[in-house]
Amino acid sequence: MAIKEGLWDCPTCQTKGILGRYRECDNCGAPRPEGVRFYLPQNAPNVTNTEQLAIAKAGADWICEYCGASNRVKEENCVECSAPKSEITQAVKEYSTANIPRSPKAQTLPRQKRMPSSSIPTAVVRSSMSTKKGKGRGYKWWLGIIAIAASVVVGLAIFLFRPITVEATVSGLSWERKVTIEKLTTVTESDWSIPAGGRLLSQREEIRRYKQVLDHYETKTRQVSEQVKTGTESYNCGTRDLGNGYFETKTCTRDVYETRTKTETYDDPIYRDEPIYETKYTYEIDRWLRDRVEVASGVTKQTYWPDFVLNAKEREGGRSQDYKVYFTGEKGESYTLELDPDFWSTFDPGESQILKVNRLGGVKLAE
Ligand SMILES: [Zn+2]
Ligand SMILES: [Zn+2]
């Protein structure tokens, strides 16, 4: 429980760091007022002087109601004006380690005082500036590479996608219509159940999946660590402002633990895969399968569906159609457009048409 001497600041003349032992300002002589803020710099030495230790331990100072002088607790009358002892005393305060006041209260100083730029040596200023410049150059170098790469990408995209207007002539039309024919076919399949319409051919037991089954235990060892209490230790857990210019370091006690490892045996379960059998069926079933595609096509506006005959166990499985217009550009280049039937039929060979094309082969009609 070490005693340390604190410091205080004179509110009258602003003198900083007056030793706790002085009850008056050592500059202007003003008495230490009630509620003065005591602080304890880091690494303040322990007080060893017996007289000071006695003062520190005696109790908080009291303030004279008549002349304002600060008096030690042992004084029965004011040392300045002999008035009787008052009830007004300096506060005793408890601080945890984290919030011990360490320095004079920060004051808002005029701007020029807070930033004494003129006091910084010129050499330091110059060296810090040159470092900044160097960093800046490196940063710009990377920025340049990124900017060049980005403009190349953007330029290429513009080059590839930007449409060019082309005057073209309709050189021809074409159309194609398709009908898919399906045939009811008997196929052999095998599954864990027979779907509707399936006719059983054979069946047998087969492994469908595996199940994990506990087989046995194996005895194994492992390292486990545990916290073991080995004793107690004292530590500095805060300080007490004694209200007389001195501080007392508080000591607390805590348990000390040690991590110990030990070897432990345990039973490790070992599993095996056990097959699960189920009945698998082989059956025949009639399925509609794609058999052939009937196609009709032409290069005139006369369109029709292919002529076909459905045989026994056959059906239509879907229709599709596509319509194309071919163009020739001024330099003989050819373009193809796929259109819907109604729009397609409005084009006639020999007509001129403005197209928008890009270098990736995209073709559009100009609006
Ligand atoms: Zn003063
Ligand atoms: Zn007095």
Q: Which ligand is located closest to the Cα atom of residue 17?
A: 1
**Cβ(181)–Cβ(316) below 8 Å:** yes
Q: Are residues 306 and 176 in the same domain?
A: yes
At residue 202, the pLDDT reads: 97
150 part of a folded domain: yes
pLDDT tens for 147-192 read 999 999 999 998 888 888 888 999 999 999 999 999 999 999 999 9
CA of 11 to the centre of ligand 1 (A): 7
Among the listed residues 36, 316, 15, 272, the one whose alpha carbon sits nearest the alpha carbon of residue 177: 316
11 part of a folded domain: yes
Question: How many percent of the chain have pLDDT more than 70?
Answer: 91
At residue 294, the pLDDT reads: 96
Judge whether residue 349 has pLDDT over 60.
yes
Q: Are residues 101 and 8 in the same domain?
A: yes
Judge whether residue 308 has pLDDT over 70.
yes
CA of 354 to the centre of ligand 1 (A): 96
CA of 241 to the centre of ligand 2 (A): 24
CA of 291 to the centre of ligand 2 (A): 121
At residue 137, the pLDDT reads: 61
At residue 269, the pLDDT reads: 95
What Å distances lie between residue 302 and 137, 177, 324, CA to CA? Answer: 72, 12, 14
What Å distances lie between residue 53 and 58, 313, 332, CA to CA? Answer: 9, 117, 111
Global pTM value: 0.43
Total count of domains within the chain: 4
87 part of a folded domain: yes
Q: Are residues 66 and 80 in the same domain?
A: yes
| Residue 80, helix vs strand vs coil | coil
User: What confidence tier does 43 reach under pLDDT thresholds 50, 70, 90?
Assistant: confident
| Residue 177, helix vs strand vs coil | strand
Judge whether residue 81 has pLDDT over 60.
yes
Q: Of 16-25, 120-129, 270-279, where does mean pLDDT reach its minimum? A: 120-129
- The string over 80-94, giving b where at least 16 C-beta atoms fall within 10 Å of a residue's C-beta and e elsewhere, is beeeeeeeebbeebe
pLDDT tens for 186-234 read 999 999 999 999 999 999 999 999 999 999 999 999 999 999 999 999 9
Judge whether residue 83 has pLDDT over 90.
yes
Q: Which ligand is located closest to the Cα atom of residue 77?
A: 2
193 part of a folded domain: yes
Q: Are residues 221 and 196 in the same domain?
A: yes
Averaged pLDDT for residues 255-260: 94
Judge whether residue 361 has pLDDT over 80.
no
Q: 322: left (phi > 0), else alpha (psi -120 to 50), else beta? A: beta
Q: Are residues 139 and 224 in the same domain?
A: no
Mean pLDDT for all residues in the chain:
89
Q: Are residues 324 and 177 in the same domain?
A: yes
Radius of gyration of the chain (CA): 50
Averaged pLDDT for residues 320-335: 92
- The string over 333-343, giving b where at least 16 C-beta atoms fall within 10 Å of a residue's C-beta and e elsewhere, is eebebebeeee
User: What confidence tier does 273 reach under pLDDT thresholds 50, 70, 90?
Assistant: very high
At residue 128, the pLDDT reads: 42
Q: Of 73-77, 98-102, 128-132, 329-333, where does mean pLDDT reach its minimum? A: 128-132
Q: Are residues 6 and 94 in the same domain?
A: yes
User: What confidence tier does 107 reach under pLDDT thresholds 50, 70, 90?
Assistant: low
CA of 21 to the centre of ligand 1 (A): 15
Helix (H) or strand (E) holding 3: strand 3-5
335 part of a folded domain: yes
Q: Are residues 201 and 317 in the same domain?
A: no
Q: What residue type is 104 in one-letter code?
A: P
330 part of a folded domain: yes
Averaged pLDDT for residues 131-157: 78
Q: Are residues 178 and 305 in the same domain?
A: yes
User: What confidence tier does 120 reach under pLDDT thresholds 50, 70, 90?
Assistant: very low
Q: Are residues 305 and 281 in the same domain?
A: no
CA of 44 to the centre of ligand 2 (A): 31
Q: Are residues 1 and 102 in the same domain?
A: yes
Judge whether residue 135 has pLDDT over 60.
no
Tokens of 188: 């052999």
At residue 138, the pLDDT reads: 63
- Its domain, for residue 216, covers 185-235+252-285
314 part of a folded domain: yes
CA of 20 to the centre of ligand 1 (A): 14
Instruction: Name the CA dihedral angle for 26, 32, 35, 41, rounded to a multiple of 10 degrees.
Output: 30
pLDDT tens for 1-19 read 799 999 999 999 999 999 9
Averaged pLDDT for residues 326-332: 90
CA of 3 to the centre of ligand 1 (A): 25
CA of 281 to the centre of ligand 1 (A): 107
**Ordered alpha helix ranges (H), 59-114:** 111-114
At residue 113, the pLDDT reads: 44
Averaged pLDDT for residues 52-79: 95
At residue 332, the pLDDT reads: 87
190 part of a folded domain: yes
At residue 166, the pLDDT reads: 87
Q: Are residues 3 and 64 in the same domain?
A: yes
